[in-house]
Amino acid sequence: MERTLIIIKPDAVQRGLTGEILRRFEQRGLRIVGMKFMQVSRELAEKHYDVHRERPFFAGLVEYITASPVVVIALEGTDAIAAARKTIGATKPVEAEAGTIRGDFALEIGRNLVHGSDSVENGQIEVANFFVESELASWERATDRWIFE
């Protein structure tokens, strides 16, 4: 079963969109296996966005993700990575389809509300960066057999 790390970024938390964003992933059928409200440290932010270290927006990106608390969620499901990224929408909110989180609630790339892992490997790595094993649950929902074939 694939795992993805979702971050409800500081702008989304500040704007009171935590519940709305979580609702969309739950409604999609993805299973929550970990969730917490936290302040991202500079060290963790730099690790999480390490692939962007050389990009001109890196400093601003670290400022953004550490500016105020976030909600991090580990989700599990069939094709969880692709499903979550479709629900999130394109990185640039003006290019995100209506009906996606970014397409419905965001305008600018540096205030795009939510993170989702981009590959199966990164999903595993990112979940491990944000959660210790005891914070993750292995469980089955009563509805799983009606969502997963």
| Residue 115 contacts ligand IDP per CB under 6 A | yes
Give 49 or 148: the residue with its C-beta nearer to Mg ion: 49
| Residue 91 contacts ligand IDP per CB under 6 A | yes
Give 57 or 139: the residue with its C-beta nearer to ligand IDP: 57
Active site residue 52: no
| Residue 118 contacts Mg ion per CB under 5 A | yes
How, if at all, do strands 70-77 and 31-38 pair?
antiparallel
To Mg ion, the closest distance from the beta carbon of 13 in angstroms equals: 19
Given the residues 3, 24, 102, 115, select the one marked as catalytic: 115
75: tokens are 């989700």
Yes or no: say if 107 and 30 are a contact pair by the CB < 8 Å rule: no
Q: Which amino acid is at 18?
A: T
Helix or strand (DSSP H, E) at 93: none
By CB under 6 A, name the one of 38, 57, 137, 139 that touches ligand IDP.
57
To Mg ion, the closest distance from the beta carbon of 5 in angstroms equals: 10
CA end-to-end span of the chain: 12
Please name which of 138, 108, 86, 137 lies closest in space to residue 9, comparing C-alpha atoms: 108
| Residue 80 contacts ligand IDP per CB under 6 A | no
* Cα separation, 115 vs 118, whole angstroms: 9
**Binding site residues, ligand IDP, CB under 6 A:** 57, 61, 91, 109-110, 112, 115, 118
Which residues carry out catalysis? 115
